Structures are given as C-alpha cells and as structure tokens.
Amino acid sequence: MFCLHFLGGSAREWEDTKRYLDPHLICIPLDLPGFGDAAHIARTSVDEMADYVIDRIAERGQSRWWIAGHSMGAKIALVIARRAEDGDPKLAGLDGLVLLAGSPPSPEPMSDDKRRDMIAWISADEKTRTLRAGAFIDQNTGAPLNEAARTAAIDDVLRADPKAWTAWLQEGSREDWRRRIGILRTPALVLSGSKDADLGPAAQICLMLPHLANARHVVIEGASHLLPIECPKAVADLICEMRTLPIAVASDPACVLDSYASLIASHRVNSRLRAALAARASAGSAPYRPCVLDAVEFSILRALIDRVLPQSSDTCIDIGARIEARLSDGFGDGWRFADLPSDGEAYAAALRTLDAAARATHGIGFTALPDETKEALITAVAAGELPTVAGDLDGRQMTKWFEDLRSDAVRIYLAHPAALARLGFSGIGAGGDDVADMPGFSEFRINSREPWEPISEAEAGR
Amino acid sequence: MNLDSMRRYATDEVVDAVVIGTGAGGAPLLARLAAAGLKVVALEAGPNFDPVRFAFDETLADEIYWTEERLSGGTTPEAFGANNSGTGVGGSTLHWGAFTPRADQRDLKLRTETGEGIDWPLDYDDLKPFYEQVEGFIGVSGPAAYPWDSQRRYPLSPVPRNAPARIMAQACEGLGIRVADAPAAVVSRDFAQEGGGTRKACINCGFCHQGCRNGAKTSMDVTYLPLAVAHGAQIRPMCRVHGTERDGMGRITAVTYRQDGTERRQRCAAVFLCAGAVESPRLLLHLGLANGSGQVGRNYMGHVATQVWGTFAGEVRMNRGYPSSLISEDMVRPADADFAGGYLMQSLGVLPLTFGNTVARSRGLWGPALTDYLARYNHFAGIGINGETLPCDANVLTLSDEVDAFGVPKARIDFGYGPNEDRLNDHATRTMTAIWEAAGASDIWVAQRVAHTLGTCRMGRDGDTAVVDPFGRSFEVPNLWISDGSTFPSSLSANPALTIMALSLRTAEAFLRSR
C-alpha cells in the first residue's frame, strides 16, 4: 500500500500505522514533492505530484497494490486511481483506495481567512513558524498527541518547502477535478474524524463519496484531521477489515417477480417489448458515469430521488442514472418550460441551488442532511419557498423544475418491469408477434380479471 | 406503410402540388387531389413506420411523438411531445385517441350567440357532407342513435365500453346526465378499407396513443395515404421542409427541404402547408411568408382538458379496452353556465406512464405517498373534458432566439386561461367531481391539463384579419393553402381531428374548382 501524506506531513506520518499493519500489508510511505525528504523537488500542481508518485509506484513494480491518501494525499491518490482505471500501463494492479480525511476532487472547503493566515505564517520568522506549526498540529488533532508524535509532526511542517505549502493552499487544493475524476469503481475505504472541521464526515459524504461507486465510509469518533498520527491502530484495523470484508460492488438490484417474468416470457408479449423490458431490467449493472452532471451534482440528484420516489429494497431502480443518461443523450420530451434553461443546464443549476440552500440553512450539503431536514427543503422547493440567491434558479423556477423531476422519475420508474409487476399491469400482455392473431382484451367489467392477468403486489399481499 | 410501388416524381418536375405534412390535415386532400389525377408529392418530416413494430409500450412510443423541443410559456404552459404533435407518415394520427365528435353547430357561431370569441366563416351545413364522407371512409364506430343529433348515423356499431365508461354511465344515469358510446375512429369489426386492404377489428388493447398495431384505429397511413398512393401520389418520409422559392408574383415555385442531410428542392405549382398549429406558423414566421395580416402565430389555442380521477374499491383495470369509450355532450351548453361555450365529457382509461406523469405533475405527490398511490393503478378511473378556449391576444406563438438542428428558431408558445376558461373549468370540475362522488370514488382529485394545438393561421373572410380564406387559401400567396388545426378561428368544444379531416377534403374541392 503506497501511502501519501497530508499538507505539512511526510512519509514519517505513517510509521505507527505501518507497524500495526505489518505483516498483513506492506506499507510504502512516500514523500510528496516539496515535503519531507523530497522538499527540494519543485512539482506543485496536482498533476505534477501525481506524475511523481506514479513514477515511484512504477519503480516498485508491484503486481497488486493499494493506494492510501491522507488529506492532500487523497486528492493525489484519486487522480492516480482515475489514471489506473483508464488503463495507464504503469498503474496495472490497483486493488483498493484508502482515503483518510481526504481533500476531495472539488475545490477544498476552507475559509479565505484561514488560507491567508496559513500562507502568511509559513514564510514568517523562525519563532513564529515554530509557534504556529505547533498550533496547526494541535488544531488538527482531537485528543492531544503524545510529545514524540507532536514533535515529529511539527518538525515535518517546518521541513516543508514554503513554496510547496503555499502552492497547495493557493492552487492545488483549489483545482477542480470533479469531472476528470468522475466516478471511480475501485473499492474505497473512506475515513473521517468526527471532530474534523473542514474535511469531516459531512464533507466526505457530500464531496468524496459521490466519486466512489463502491465505498465504505467509517467515522472515527473523537478523532480530528490527522488520523494516521492520532489513531494509527484504529486506522490499521479498519484497513485490515477492508481486506477481510471486501466492499460489495454496487449494482442495480431491481428484480422482477417470477410470475410477472413468466408473463413477459409468454406468447402474449411481443418480442420488441420483451427485449426492451429486459434491457431496462439489466441496465445499471455497471457503475454509472454521469456526463452532463458532475459526480457531486449526480449524488445530490440520487439523494433527492431517494426522497421523491422511495423504492422498496427489491425494486431499487437506479432512476438517477437513467435521468442523467437521458440528459446526456439530449433526448427530450418535446417541450420545456420557457423560463427554465435547457434540461441539462436546468438540472445542474437546480441541484446546485438545492445544495446551496442546504449549506445556507444547515451548514452542510444536501446529501449529508438527515431525512427530515431534506424533506423540509423539498417541501420548500415544491412551494416555491426555497431560499435562493442571485445566480441560482429562483423559487418559482425551482418549483417548475421539481415538477419536471417528478415527471422524469415517475416515467422512468413505470417503464421498468419491476414497477409494472408491482402495479399488476396487464397491458403488456395484449398480444404477441402475430398481429393477425392478437388476443387483446375481452373482459371489461369491474372486478373481473382475465385468468392470465397479473395481480398487484398489494393485492397479492392481502 | 408500404411505399414500395408508389409512383415517383423528379424534383425538377413541376408537380401540381406539394403537401407538407401527412397527418389529418394533409392526408385527406393528398388522396383527393391524387384521385382527381393531379401529380402530388407529400413531404413528411418523420419516418415511415410499419405499424407491426408498435409494441404496447409507452416509452417505445416516443418514436411517434414530435419530441423536438418547444418552449412553453404563459400562465398555463402547455405540454407537447406525447401530449400533442406526432411525427412519421400519418402525423399525429399515429398517436391520436381517435375520439371523433363533430363540431356543435352553435360553437361555429359563438360570437353571434354570446358576443364572445369569433364566428367561423362557414356553417355546420358546409361541413356536414364532409363529416359524413370522412366517417364513412375511415370507419367510425358509434351508437345507433346519437342523443344530441337525431339525424346522425355511424357506419359501425360501437366498441365495447371499458370499465371507466361503465362506471361513468351508471353515475350519470343517476344524475340525469345523458351519455352515449363515444364516436371512435376505431373499427369495431373487420373493415374493407377503400384504397387499402382489410383493417382488422379492434382487439381492445388500450394502446391507441402508442400506435395501433393492426390498423383497427384510423391513422392516415392505413386510410387516406394508401388511397393517395393508389392514385399516384408520392410520399417522401424524412423530408424536413425549411424554405420556399417564389417568383416575381409572389407565387411559390419550389419547396426546399433536407433529406438524409442532403438539400433538395421540389418544383411545384401549389403548396399545401399541413404541419399542424405549431410547425405551420413556425415555418411561415421563419420565412416571413403570408403574414401581411400580422395574424400568423396569433390566437394560439389549446383546449381546457381537465381531468378528475378517483379510486374505486373494485379492480377497474383501466388499461383494458378503447380508452375513451363514453361521451356526454350535455355540457356543450349547460343551463347554469356563467361562461360562453361549453365542453364535452369523456370517460378515461389511461396507461401507467401517462397516468403517472399526470400524477407527478398535477397532484404534487412525492415520497411514499407517490409510490403507494401509483401501486393502486388497477383501481383508478377518470373523466376528462374537452372545453372551449376563446381566442385571446396574450396567447401567441413566436420564434424564440434558440435554434434547432436545422437552424430554424424553436417555437415559443405562450398560453394561459382567461376568465371564460377559468369559469368553464370550475363548472366542469364541479360536474365531474359530482359524477365521481355519485359513482362511489374515493380520493378524488383534479388534474389541470391543456390539450391540442389550434389557431395561429386563422381562417376568415378578410385578408386584414385572417391568414387564409374559408377554404384555407392564403390571402397573400395565391398558390399557398393551409390545412390543419392552425386555421381554426376558435377552438370548438369538439376534439379537432375529425373537423381537420373534413376541412381538408373541403379545401381539396375548392382547390380543384379553382384550377
């Protein structure tokens, strides 16, 4: 497992974790350019740092490997995972990602004041530097560190090249990699500390998990931002657990009732419809990669649809992926509200508006909100009362867009054979391929089911 | 439809007429002109479908809807796509509901009767022979005796009543509202189609709006278009008209269009624009053609098409049978009306996606309330209306500043109800709710809806206030005729397609007389 450190850290931050992991997993901590023993190397952009690490990985020639990234290192790890999934021959064999208090693909959430302050003191006089480096380490830990660990961490901060430190704060942490990273399918363990301010659980839910199709997120209670230093044993245990309890690969689990599947297979259903129903039932078995929306917007869409059209666990149709695919195809339904932009733009703008309203009213993004808070925001959207700011869609536009969203979701849902089965819909059985001899319907009275007609799940349950 | 052996014309041959659009406005006159021995070419923007491919599925039916984007504004924005225009040889008759009431003669003289709206520049008696001709030719099924017109006879016996029709009929009987089997352009028995083969009897599949698989439902590709082809007309699918060439007299000499990415030009002596009340005015506005009156695009009308839905204890299974198999014309002039005009009522059986879309948009449900409600599909039935909409200055079709794939500006349609539509809608909502209460429905709710595309190229007697004369001929471009819902001066309470077909034949006769 190649291990990448946080801003101001070095390969040394992994020493305790490495000890707990041995002999299960060989840890290979690396110094990033500008830090630790690589402080003299001036390669400060995300791409340049990734290139540097890729060369180190290639030198080792491991056939199977993982990569772990802590904070700043996580963003580099994500870029490397994207290149590995895209087939970079130097990166064959990537089996897992571990992201600790990771800096997400999006610009990192951090106040301008904090950023300015950190840039100021790193180049100040030696006394100030030492004092502020200590404060920096203390601010990023939950319980106080033991003296040796604290001293080593401060020493690492002071070893860093101030240019690299400043470049990360001004540029690297603000680089927007959302679209380039997209959604990774590599199994990923996401760790966050409950006391971490900027990159804690909510930020991981809203900004990191959207990029990971197969992720397990664990919150370490009491910890803050320096997870490998603060709680190396917990980190090591969770990584070992990931090895023994592999993360399930997500799939579209919607399944069609056997009785309805028999109807679909019967001569009453024509071949074109049968093939279309099969295609709808199988779509979504691979992780979906959005094209029009970025991964974060897409995760908000999915979170919203979970509230708008909740499904039972056995008919869990990935409606969000199908809506996004339609937006990508550009295939519309023949009209749009004149005061909304084009469908793709409207979706992206509306999801950003909803997320901004969540942050403005509750301080965290929509996906990390508890259900009842999500529901309150949705009610406000429907009523045209969502608080919005200039540049977003306004309340009235959000109401119209929400009508479109409900329509899109329902039409995708009801096209799926699992949903039709739930309804007990008999229309698909009106006739097979021989149009000269289609049975159609001959019974029209109330409460008079033709013998072959399916019954709804509600009826079946009585 | 089978076009293999149709006659073909060269693009540099001056044909007698080019017909733009093959729906209810274009197909009847194409057949009539061809039968009179004229050289006619129809240009259809959509593909030529084999009905056998239609598949009893709402999503697969997207291919027969006009899904190029239109912008809907105004206070009651209208949905297009599946709700309205179609594409393909046969136009929107591929997906229409085949509900074929005739215009009420009072609706044609609404201004004289009420001081509201506008009179048509023709009478019911002008239309009646064409109605009879169309009904006989396409095979309309209907009741032996029509309660609101003692003289009317339908050529075929009615299709079976579906469950919503049975529920509505029983409730209306108790309330003293007259009902009848709906006139439907769906053949209730095997039908020998003049100009074509035998159309098989309706199998009551309930998928009229998704394309009829066996030709039981009238669409132009199984009725007027085979007749047209038999008489020597050529139909060219996938031909998108975007321009005209004109001579010094202002007459159109050629129509330009794109087919498979290639620009083509058909020379012609006359043009019939039959692209519907959105695409026809859009093309005219784009070309700056025939708009000396300034009326092109004005007085756009959709019908008030409100629905009332309810849940019934027993299984209704409204997907079975012809969807709108019961009609009432009792509200065409309700005794207690506080509005001009009136409305037709029909029973409704609607398929899951279309119904779910209405629930999602109109009922404002989400969450478990939405999924649980949809799961009760087999217990729903509805009633709907088709209500008069008065022409109005605010309701207008314009060109937006966004262009489509052909470089033509997209249409923007602003539509909203005025006080008359609001009062009519209130009356209809009360009436339908009372019927559903009498029927024992629970969880009754109202879906606001607008349907059909009408107006924008109104017919009249005067070129200063109308685009075409009472026969559909442009006042301004002497060899341009318009035949589709765009020429309607007012909306009528009747669903429009039968009247569009009747007017199409009337236009053809006038054109033949004028030669």
As for the ipTM of the complex, it is: 0.96
**Residue type for A309, please?**
L
Mean pLDDT across B365-370:
96
8 Å CB contact of A310 and B371: yes
The reported pLDDT for the residue numbered A247 is: 73
Q: Where are the domains of chain A?
A: 2-244, 258-420
The Cα A252–Cα A288 span in angstroms is 10
Residue B375's alpha-carbon distances to A312, A423, B178, B311, in angstroms, are 12, 5, 33, 12
The Cα B206–Cα B316 span in angstroms is 13
Closest CA to A32 of A58, A3, A60: A3
The Cα A306–Cα A308 span in angstroms is 6
The reported pLDDT for the residue numbered A330 is: 85
8 Å CB contact of B72 and A438: no
Q: Name every residue whose Cβ is closer than 8 Å to that of residue A147 and which is 6 or more positions away in sequence.
A: none
Distance from CA of B510 to the nearest CA of A (A): 35
pLDDT in tens, B241-274: 999 999 999 999 999 999 989 999 999 999 999 9
The reported pLDDT for the residue numbered A462 is: 53
CB B19 within 8 A of CB B40: yes
8 Å CB contact of A308 and B366: yes
Return the HEC string of B135-173: HHHHCCECCCCECCECCCCCCECCCCCCHHHHHHHHHHH
Q: What is the DSSP letter of A141?
A: -
Say if residue B174's pLDDT is above 90. Answer: yes
8 Å CB contact of A445 and B166: yes
Residues of A in contact with B213 (CB under 8 A): 431, 435, 438
Out of A279-288, B151-160, B284-293, least confident range:
A279-288
**Residue type for B462, please?**
D
> At residue B137, what are phi and psi to the nearest 5 degrees?
-70, -45
Question: Would you call A121 helix, strand, or coil by DSSP?
Answer: helix
Residues of A in contact with B85 (CB under 8 A): 334
Distance from CA of B378 to the nearest CA of A (A): 7
Q: Which of A407, A420, A427 sits opposite B360 (nearest CB)?
A: A407
8 Å CB contact of B214 and A311: no
Series of mean pLDDT values for 10-residue runs along chain A (462 residues): 98 96 90 97 96 96 95 98 95 96 96 95 96 97 95 97 98 97 95 96 97 96 97 96 75 72 96 95 76 95 96 82 92 92 96 96 95 97 91 93 97 95 97 96 97 90 62
8 Å CB contact of A430 and B162: no
Q: Which of B81, B167, B352 sits opposite A425 (nearest CB)?
A: B352
In this structure, is residue B25 part of a structural domain?
yes
Residues of B in contact with A337 (CB under 8 A): 71-73, 77
Under the phi-then-psi rule, with left for phi > 0, alpha for psi from -120 to 50, and beta for the rest, what region is B389? Answer: beta
- A-chain residue closest to B68, CA distance: A334
Only one residue has tokens 């047209």, namely B228
> At residue A56, what are phi and psi to the nearest 5 degrees?
-65, -40
Helix (H) or strand (E) holding B257: strand B252-259
The reported pLDDT for the residue numbered A246 is: 75
Distance from CA of B179 to the nearest CA of A (A): 18
8 Å CB contact of A338 and B366: no
CATH top class, domain A2-244: alpha beta
Closest CA to B98 of B195, B12, B237, B222: B222
8 Å CB contact of A307 and B377: no
- A-chain residue closest to B375, CA distance: A423
CB A361 within 8 A of CB A387: yes
Domain of B157, in residue numbers: 17-69+83-514
The reported pLDDT for the residue numbered A285 is: 57
- B-chain residue closest to A446, CA distance: B316
Percent of chain B with pLDDT over 70: 100
In this structure, is residue B75 part of a structural domain?
no
The reported pLDDT for the residue numbered A253 is: 56
8 Å CB contact of B206 and A336: no
Best A342, A414, A420, A428 residue to mutate vs chain B (most B CBs within 10 Å): A414
The reported pLDDT for the residue numbered A254 is: 62
8 Å CB contact of B375 and A406: no
pLDDT in tens, B498-512: 999 999 999 999 999
- A-chain residue closest to B50, CA distance: A435
Distance from CA of A156 to the nearest CA of B (A): 52
User: Facing residues of A97 across strands?
Assistant: A67, A188
The Cα B231–Cα B223 span in angstroms is 13
Cβ–Cβ pairs < 8 A, chains A and B? 206
User: Facing residues of B234 across strands?
Assistant: B41
CB A358 within 8 A of CB A369: yes
Residues of B in contact with A436 (CB under 8 A): 200, 214
Q: How far out from the chain centre does Cα B338 lie?
A: 28
8 Å CB contact of B59 and A337: no
Q: Which of B73, B84, B160 sits opposite A339 (nearest CB)?
A: B73
Q: Domain of B23: which CATH number?
A: 3.50.50.60
Distance from CA of B56 to the nearest CA of A (A): 6
Under the phi-then-psi rule, with left for phi > 0, alpha for psi from -120 to 50, and beta for the rest, what region is B407? Answer: left
User: Facing residues of A410 across strands?
Assistant: none
Q: Which of B65, B366, B371 sits opposite A334 (nearest CB)?
A: B65
pLDDT in tens, A253-262: 567 778 899 9
Only one residue has tokens 């309340």, namely A395
Q: How many domains is chain B built from?
A: 1
In this structure, is residue B336 part of a structural domain?
yes
CB A433 within 8 A of CB A271: yes
8 Å CB contact of B52 and A339: no
The reported pLDDT for the residue numbered A388 is: 83
- A-chain residue closest to B402, CA distance: A342
In this structure, is residue B260 part of a structural domain?
yes
Helix (H) or strand (E) holding A368: none
Best A444, A447, A449, A457 residue to mutate vs chain B (most B CBs within 10 Å): A444
In this structure, is residue B291 part of a structural domain?
yes
8 Å CB contact of B319 and A425: yes
